[in-house]
Amino acid sequence: MPQNMVSERVSQRAFFGVSALLFVASAAVTIVWCVSMSAMGEMPMPGGWTMSMAWMPICGQTWPGTAASFIGMWVAMMIAMMLPSLAPMLWRYRQAIGRTGETGLDRLTALVGAGYFSVWAVSGMAAFALGGTLAAVEMQLPSLARAVPVASGVVVLIAGTLQFTPWKSHHLACCRAMPGQGCMLKALQADAGTAWRHGLRLGLHCSTCCAGLTAILLVIGVMDLRVMAAVTTAITAERLAPAGERVAKAIGAVVVLTGLVLILRAMGLG
């Protein structure tokens, strides 16, 4: 076997080994967070549902402290959820850059990953701002709180519908594109700035692509490990399966049905 093939195989094993360790660590942090938050219980709300304690200060925390805690856990959760589909993309990036003769592959790959997850960190800030605001309003307005179960079902229904749109197809194609092709046309320049921008670009496309699935996580159970596992499986399948667009539409059909069921239950018809 040629020496370059042996070297690439060793590099591949090391890369995916490190990725696996990072996944295990982030998943462990996420599980500990979910278990600790679940142990605190949830707040009963008008309309027969309960509010997660993740959206409000606890144990004497200030709002900035609560936000920082949430965003930290959000990033750990997103690393665990996105890494199964991101790792193959990062490996393809390493291969593309390696063909240019660049030797600092580890540094450039880390910059791509940092850029990617920085986008998710910003999305976590937005999610907390929206969730915290809604939680505060719902505690002040019982009539609004009673509408939450139906509204949650509507959000799930809309998220499922998005899976069938050209908008979804475009961003999914960008997430699946090889470096140097399509939406990732500028990715082959082997320098730190380009690597960072490539990570940002990939993060923007991927966070937009799974905005609907992420919304499901937020409205059904941001601390529910089963929902996290289901959303992770869906995202990974549509990103990595050979027929990704068809997989996305199949997922959309399931999500639409789930949304309808949730709405009917909330209205007392199911």
CA distance linking residue 109 with residue 38, whole number of Å: 36
pLDDT in tens, 198-250: 899 999 999 999 999 999 999 887 778 899 999 999 999 999 999 889 999 99
In angstroms, the first-to-last Cα distance of the chain is 63
The pLDDT value given to residue 112: 94
What are the DSSP calls for 210-246, one per residue? THHHHHHHHHH-TT-HHHHHHHHHHHHHHHHSTTHHH
- Residue 49: beta bridge partners? 45
Q: Is the pLDDT of residue 21 over 70?
A: yes
Could you identify the residue written with the tokens 């549509």? 238
Helix (H, G, I), strand (E, B) or coil at 179: coil
What are the DSSP calls for 12-81, one per residue? HHHHHHHHHHHHHHHHHHHHHHHHHHHHT--EEETTTEEE-GGGS--TT--HHHHHHHHHHHHHHHHHHH
247 touches 238 (CB < 8 A): yes
The pLDDT value given to residue 156: 96
pLDDT in tens, 22-54: 999 999 999 998 888 777 777 788 877 888 777
Token code pair at residue 85: 């589909």
pLDDT in tens, 85-144: 999 999 988 888 877 666 688 899 999 999 999 999 999 999 999 988 888 888 888 888
Cβ neighbors of 172 (< 8 A, separation 6 or more) are: 209, 238, 239, 244, 245, 248
Indicate the pTM of the whole model: 0.88
Q: Nearest-CA neighbor of 210 among 257, 258, 162, 263?
A: 162
CA distance linking residue 263 with residue 151, whole number of Å: 8
CA distance linking residue 46 with residue 48, whole number of Å: 6
The pLDDT value given to residue 42: 76
Q: Is the pLDDT of residue 165 over 80?
A: yes
Residue 134: Cβ-neighbour burial (10 angstroms; 0-12, 13-18, 19+): middle
Amino acid residing at 226: R
What residues does each domain of the chain span?
A: 3-96+122-187+204-266
Task: Count other C-beta atoms under 10 Å from residue 17's C-beta.
Answer: 10
- Residue 45: beta bridge partners? 49
Q: Nearest-CA neighbor of 47 among 136, 152, 133, 132?
A: 152
- Least confident among 5-9, 135-139, 259-263: 5-9
The pLDDT value given to residue 181: 58
Q: b/e for 33-63, b at 16 or more Cβ within 10 A?
A: bbeebeeeeeeebebebebbbbbbeeeeeee
The pLDDT value given to residue 140: 87
